A and B are shown apart, each in its own frame.
Chain A
């Protein structure tokens, strides 16, 4: 019992906030608590959640990745270019998209570990580079006319479950296991908790950092493929500002920006909270000006509730 309360105490606040919001929305709008709306929410959340999982790893090690949204776009374009009907087998666009994400992540990791320039600056640079390349590869125009097989990833269903939800669940399990159950996860916490002490404990700090940025890039690549397939077009200007939503999800979920704390369940809840708010406000046809204010208030409220439950 003791063990659970100590390891997971940070999640209570966000879980309570999430449940409260859901109950409130179910009362306010009859369409909210329906199976089909649940499907819609989870599908919409999947892209932000994938990015948020990636950035959770990075933030736990004490870093940050601002290039997520742009990497998503360039990965989406890379996938779309190879996804025209009757051109290449499905594996080619998938490999191109995810591979592009991995490459950008590895690039981030390489520059950060070799140069000691703060991640904030490095990934800010990558953000611009990736956006530029997305525009170059696509000539500034959407890449459309994609194969049905490719479009299945974002639009298809398995036993009635939209495929993005399947990807979301699978990725969540892998990320949660990696972070919670493996030596690598433990090393990530150690590096973020105290880099010097981690090094003195024989941890290869650079390797851990390299890994988290590559992982984060790879997840952005998957998200890029998913988004491209969902809207059946590679959009060079897709994903603008997505990094902020992803970081918000992680922080709402209890990941501390100073590093060393956080977990995947919290991040998933954070992403769900953001998604549920968007969905609920759209259902109730709240004006977009008010939506911004309400979203902001709810996010701040959730974080305050969370920190209160931690300090108790």
Chain B
């Protein structure tokens, strides 16, 4: 190690170990962070990243090993202590209080009081919040209630909140998972500013392009062990992936082998005021139609209408020539439309229930006689699908909440598939899942298409849209901006059409 540089290290971690029961979550971790450095931490889900972050943020205590913060031993007593010492974390899961305003959330726990008043001075915190948001280029009115914001907007507030703590080290766990590219750009700009101020940033993401774009150094964990630390410039994508998974991953995006079939589904002039207007497209059997657009472009809203979760104001949809705008998901399922939500935990799955119960939930009537569930039929059908999708669980009776994100997503897809749909709408199917699982999901989607399903794929990840889709519908501010063929669908073109004008 270069002796000259060592004084620049803001954080040094040596031989960190942590066991949960008999499982080694961390097995001798090394990690070093310099001032003004963006240090990407990579690894598949279960590699130990979360445990490591929790220890740094004061949520967990290590079993052994040493952490030095600017040369002094660092043993946080809790999150508040960690914050005091300058380590701030932006959580993957949003921890905002929905009933409070943006400003109130920003200053939660350290309300400012007026000069002579003891109660919270609303105007003062609104002004301070507006000031802070403006510095970060965020244009949300500070008095807006948190629950009225989109996921992306909430995340921006979370980041603003973390930065307000005068952090020396900032931990970002998948900060862009719900952000549009434009919003992500703004975040990267912000990260640049922080670097210049000497803040050390630990950056966790599954998005490769982001990693190469912003990080200076990359550390890879695998199965709780430290694998390697390298300057980002020395790595390329295949090299990084092979470090993470310990093997070469070939054919990240599967080849399109299926023939485009006959059109099965037609949407004409569909509108839902305030969300989207005059959307028209056709979907063929065996086709993957991508829907791209910035956050707030109306993609999820469109999907919800097609699935009967919300109602349309105008327009129609035809399935095999028959009018098909479902009045409820129940009707949609019966007619052969399935939907996998972007929001696994609140719309997609019932996390308290088991893998089996979730998979069969939408098609339970097919496995029952006189309302009595035929356990064997249910188990064999769900089991077959679980094996087919390679869902990793100890048994079909494991609760979904204990599964990893990727496996949860597969359960949600399995549930949709068991209804034997003709069309399946996948809304952000790879959000928050690791790279190995992503590849599996991509292959699965392609396989479904080749089996003759019509697939609508909503995604914020450009590579996903370009790599997987046969055609791409671009939405911008609720309007249909373009419908591009595979040959036309380049990143630049999609971006160009996505931009509001």
Contact = CB atoms under 8 A, between A and B. Distances in A.
Interface in B348-394: 348-354, 357, 361-362, 364-365, 368, 371-373, 394
A199 B373 contact: no
A7 B349 contact: no
B397 A201 contact: no
A182 B372 contact: yes
Interface string A5-36: 01100000000000000000000000000000
B347 A197 contact: yes
Contact of A7 (B309, B333, B368, B397): B397
Contacts of A260: 350, 352-353
Contacts of A132: none
Contacts of A187: 364
A122 to B, nearest CB: 23
Interface stretch (B67-75, B217-225, B324-332): B324-332
Contact of B329 (A186, A190, A200, A261): A200
Interface of B: 307, 309, 328-330, 332-334, 339, 341, 346-354, 357, 361-362, 364-365, 368, 371-373, 394-395, 397-399, 415, 419
B176 to A, nearest CB: 25
A87 interface: no
Contacts of A181: 372-373
A6 B356 CA distance: 13
A190 B348 CA distance: 12
Contacts of B307: 200
Given A199-B309, A260-B350, A186 B361 contact: yes
B346 A186 contact: no
Interface in A173-190: 181-184, 186-187, 189-190
A26 to B, nearest CB: 36
- With most chain B CB atoms within 10 A of its CB, the pick from A2, A199, A200, A204 is A200
A181 B361 CA distance: 14
Contacts, number: 86
B220 to A, nearest CB: 34
Nearest to B349: A197
A193 interface: yes
B329 A6 contact: no
25 contacts: A2-B395, A2-B397, A6-B395, A6-B399, A182-B371, A183-B368, A186-B361, A189-B352, A190-B361, A193-B353, A194-B352, A197-B348, A197-B350, A198-B350, A199-B309, A200-B348, A201-B329, A201-B333, A201-B362, A202-B328, A202-B333, A203-B330, A203-B361, A204-B328, A260-B353
Interface residues of A, number: 25
Given A193-B353, A200-B347, A201-B333, 14 more contacts: A2-B394, A6-B354, A6-B397, A182-B373, A183-B372, A186-B357, A193-B351, A193-B352, A194-B346, A196-B346, A196-B347, A197-B347, A201-B329, A260-B353
B28 to A, nearest CB: 29
Given A7-B397, A202-B333, A261-B352, A189 B346 contact: no
A3 interface: yes
A110 to B, nearest CB: 19
Contacts of A202: 328-330, 332-334, 362, 419
Interface in A96-131: none
B400 to A, nearest CB: 10
Contacts of B394: 2
Given A3-B397, A181-B372, A182-B368, A204 B330 contact: yes
Contacts of A199: 309, 328-329
B354 A189 contact: no
A204 B349 CA distance: 16
A204 B333 CA distance: 12
B309 A183 contact: no
B118 to A, nearest CB: 34
Interface string A34-51: 000000000000000000
B371 A194 contact: no
A196 B395 CA distance: 26
A260 B399 CA distance: 12
B395 to A, nearest CB: 6
A200 B343 CA distance: 11
B121 to A, nearest CB: 34
B371 A183 contact: yes
Contacts of B395: 2-3, 6
B55 to A, nearest CB: 22
Contacts of B419: 202
Contacts of A200: 307, 309, 329, 339, 341, 347-348
Which 10 pairs from chain A and chain B are nearest by CB?
A193-B350, A202-B333, A201-B362, A202-B330, A182-B371, A194-B350, A193-B352, A201-B361, A260-B352, A202-B329
Contact of B364 (A186, A193, A196, A204): A186
Nearest to A193: B350
- With most chain B CB atoms within 10 A of its CB, the pick from A7, A181, A183, A197 is A197
Nearest to A177: B372
A209 B438 CA distance: 38
A7 B357 CA distance: 12
Contacts of B350: 189-190, 193-194, 197-198, 260
A177 B441 CA distance: 38
Contacts of B330: 202-204
A196 B343 CA distance: 11
Nearest to A197: B350
A146 B347 CA distance: 54
A220 B499 CA distance: 61
Interface string A196-217: 1111111110000000000000
A184 B371 contact: yes
Contacts of B373: 181-183, 186
Contacts of B346: 194, 196-197
Nearest to A4: B397
Contacts of B341: 200
Contacts of A203: 330, 361
A260 B368 CA distance: 21
A302 to B, nearest CB: 22
A196 B368 CA distance: 23
Contacts of B362: 201-202
Contacts of A204: 328, 330
Nearest to B341: A200
A194 to B, nearest CB: 4
A184 B330 CA distance: 15
Interface in A254-309: 260-261
A187 B395 CA distance: 22
A263 to B, nearest CB: 13
Contacts of B368: 182-183
